[in-house]
Structure 1
Amino acid sequence: MRVLFVAHGPAHVPWTVPLAWAAQLAGHDVRVAAREQSLTQVLDAGLIAVPIGTATAGDVFIRRATPHSGERPAHLPADWPSGPLGWSEERRLHWSDQVLGLADSLADDLVEYARHWRPDLVVHDVGAVVGLVAAAAVGVPAVAHNWCQPIGLYFLHEQQVPPAYLRLFERFGATPRIGTDTWIDCTPPALHTPHPVPRIPMRYVPYNGPGQLPAWLRHAPARRRVCVTGGITTSTIDDLGTRLLEEADGVDADFVLAVNRPEAFDDRKLPPNVTLTGRVPLTALLTTCHALVQHGGAGSTMTALAHGIPQIVVPDGTDTPSSLYGVQIEQAGAGIHLRPEDRRHPGALAAALTRLLEGDAYARRARDIRDEIAAMPSPAQVMAQLEAHARSPRPTTPVNP
């Protein structure tokens, strides 16, 4: 069987890798279509990449805020597209317009390749709607892969569909995909939110890219170790790292400031309990840590949970995907959501860290969620389900809703 994966941004590619490798190990032929910005992540994972779009295709995602004003449906239900907790309607519409604009810029390349290669199944990131278009153009089923958030562009009823979405399919003589598709979902039960799209649960397997294991990670830390990271595609670490350097002295722990650009802190004086390091695979580093402080990224959040590590989420705003992870982690009892209004107070990060480390409640809940993740179906088991799904182009009944 030929399986075409369609990636989104660089930070999303790691979510695709375990399932893509499960497909390869099951004997299937795998390709991963990706924009120029994401090709390195695909190649580093040892997968075959198919470049789509141009170097400016990523600009479309940022630039096209409301490209189809006046074309939205008269009726917009609260879950169109799925409204993340705390997202305003304007934020949702802004995001969906961007996603449609990006799909429009990639569709010609992806459909051309799909018609050439003839995949049997398309697995696409929920932010890569162009995967649905390519699947429809060659008449094969598509399955979306989400990133542990109730976010994704989907239309269950015709009155919800904007003309821009229809035009994406009509351009290639394809029937628009409207109705219940299936999503692969790594969300553990503790973070699960109601959602109208049926989902196939899959265990989150931490993959944070390749990297070398530094010698100092081979030894157990002398005292509690806390990792601080800002992910791979945000500048949040600049503010987060600055706050850490100001408050670390007040916390009884050692800190590892793991950043992609350590040179950004070259002119800063490090407290004695802070070690600045370049990029280290997070899954290797967290096995030696007692806590994580992070920006609210999908990979950071779930990697910590997969290792049973409590965390502090410091998002860059209140109306962003990163803030949703903070809400989910706090509600699940596995960590602390440090909101922008909380961070105005001097010493707020140090106080939150002390609270997280002093008791066992957060760590205990994180370990409970780790056990939930471990009990979920593996990527290999999910691949077996997808093989059956490929033989049934449009399932009429939910699969593990």
Structure 2
Amino acid sequence: MRVLFAVYPSRAHLYPVAPTAWALQSAGHEVRLATFAGFAGDIAAAGLTPVPLGDAGIPEVRLAGDTPPPRSAEEVERAADELGLAGPEREHWYVFHQYLTAAAGDYVRLDRAEFADLVQFAQDWKPDLVIWDGTMPGGAIAARVAGAAHARFVFGLDYVAWSMRKLGGTNANPLAELLAPAAARYGVTIDDELLLGQRTIDPTPAPMRLPIEVAGHVPVRWIPYSGGSNFEAWLHRRPEPPRQPRIAFTLGESTRRFTRGDWDRTPRIMEALHGLDVEVVATLNATQLDGLQPPPNVRTVEWVPLTHLLPTCSALIHHGGMGTFSAASAYSVPQLVCDTEESNLIRKVVVPASEVAEVAAVGEIGMALGFDEDAPMPEAPGVRWTLPAKKLEATPTADYVIGFGAGARLNHRESSPEQMRKQIEQVVGDPAFRDGAARLHEAWASNPTPVRIVPALEDLAARSGLAARKITRAG
């Protein structure tokens, strides 16, 4: 069969779906990945076939000067009040209403070529199945137009499905509002199946998922992948036993091109690591270091895949991203999750132009959503968006890790370097955390591998009654 993936142009969105794309490709199916033309090279580097959308010579949508901002805090909070949301539920709503809908609107715009190119390719190529990134709901419209089955791929807690259930039959559905013009152009009806897919492919461990039922739920194991590179000798040439425990320190892929000093987190954690009897490998680039000289026990490298590094480590310090968390779970490594526990709500502040930082509103929202671009950000004098100094999913990730006894939370805003140093020593030295990491590994491994879900995806295409070709099953 023919399978078309619609992927947001970010490595943080490509890497989670790549193993499922490989599994389908290895089963003999034709696989294509459609995304913004400027990101096609990253897909090709992952051993997959890109379908370029739009013009690589113009700015990516989120970096364009006319990108709509997120919905205002006042609108989002008013809707939360009407729905009676409080506590963690209110945070789920913030993520959906401000962050995810902002991204979902980028590639259903009718004033740019990308969405029309996606629909045209689907009509021409006639896929049997479309698998769309949760922030690429235009893939569902393309599937309907082409007469294909379609499935949604989520990258963590399913805030969209949770919010759809909370909204119920209300008229105010921000995702449906975003899709309405694109759906109307192609004569597509907006319903639950269009918004949530005929199936939902979900790599989140079962104990971590939000308490909702989604029709056609397909759990899959999150296979660690963060790009390819040489397996360097220093990674594997270590004495046995090692002279010191090794700690990995990473702040992920999403914000490494934007956030200088990573919200002041990098210097404070470096201070906490100073003097510890450990070897630290920090995968930080020049932007994240922002001129900082690391202590003698910290080795900084621009990039090394976690699949190479983590098997040699006694602990991992990270930003709380789902991909990094899943990699540590796969290798049974105790985790220290950076989390300030503050609200995810984005607020707009009007300030004098003389006080506005060089990074503009569009760039800051790009950081929050995890967009992966090298281009400089335009300025937006007089407007600044205040964002939490943490990864979007850091709090639920930290809570989950702590619940398994597999690690601790590092709050660089409330804890002193001395307090964080003690936490790091405890997680590295106490065998109880390794036992917790082993339990976390078992939860991760309880989801089936991508190879094992191929038959379910074949069945979806076959039973849709819309496939133009005979569906050949994997052997």
Provide the TM-score with structure 2 as the length reference: 0.74
What is aligned with 1:164? 178
One-letter amino acid of the counterpart of residue 7, structure 2: A
Distance 1:254 1:13 in 2: 31
Other structure's SS at 2:159 match: coil
Alignment: residue pair count: 388
Shift of 1:74: 11
After TM superposition, which residue ranges in structure 1, 4 or more long, deviate above 6 angstroms? 69-76
Distance 1:207 1:78 in 2: 40
8 Å CA contact 1:231, 1:294 repeated in 2:
yes
8 Å CA contact 2:221, 2:448 repeated in 1:
yes
Q: 1:52 to 1:39 in 2, by over 3 A?
A: same
Aligned equivalent of 2:151, options 143, 146, 153? 143
Other structure's SS at 1:226 match: strand
What is aligned with 2:276? 251
* Residue ranges of structure 1 left out of the alignment (5+ in a row): 395-401
Shift of 1:76: 6.9
8 Å CA contact 1:2, 1:121 repeated in 2:
yes
The 10-residue stretch of structure 1 (321-330 or 211-220) with the greater mean CA deviation from structure 2: 321-330
One-letter amino acid of the counterpart of residue 369, structure 1: L
Distance 1:37 1:301 in 2: 28
Q: 1:74 to 1:369 in 2, by over 3 A?
A: closer
Q: Where do 1:83-232 residues align within 5 Å?
A: 87=91, 89-105=93-109, 106-152=114-160, 155=164, 159=170, 161=173, 162-179=176-193, 181-198=198-215, 199-220=217-238, 221-232=242-253
* Residue ranges of structure 2 left out of the alignment (5+ in a row): 345-391, 466-475
Q: Where do 1:226-375 residues align within 5 Å?
A: 226-235=247-256, 238=262, 239-259=264-284, 261-262=285-286, 265=289, 267-315=291-339, 318-319=343-344, 320-339=392-411, 341-343=413-415, 345-375=416-446
8 Å CA contact 1:185, 1:202 repeated in 2:
yes
Provide the TM-score with structure 1 as the length reference: 0.86
Q: Percent identity?
A: 28
Shift of 1:73: 9.2
The 10-residue stretch of structure 1 (84-93 or 246-255) with the greater mean CA deviation from structure 2: 84-93
Between the two structures, name the one with larger relative contact order (CA 8 Å, sep ≥ 6). Answer: 2
One-letter amino acid of the counterpart of residue 16, structure 1: V
Aligned equivalent of 1:59, options 48, 56, 63? 63
Q: Tell me how large the CA RMSD over aligned residues is.
A: 3.1
The 10-residue stretch of structure 1 (276-285 or 370-379) with the greater mean CA deviation from structure 2: 370-379
8 Å CA contact 1:136, 1:177 repeated in 2:
no
8 Å CA contact 1:75, 1:159 repeated in 2:
no
One-letter amino acid of the counterpart of residue 144, structure 1: R
8 Å CA contact 2:93, 2:159 repeated in 1:
no
Distance 1:84 1:284 in 2: 35
Distance 1:40 1:298 in 2: 24
Distance 1:62 1:196 in 2: 33
Distance 1:93 1:311 in 2: 30
Deviations 1:254-274 (A, max 9, x none): 111112x24864854332211
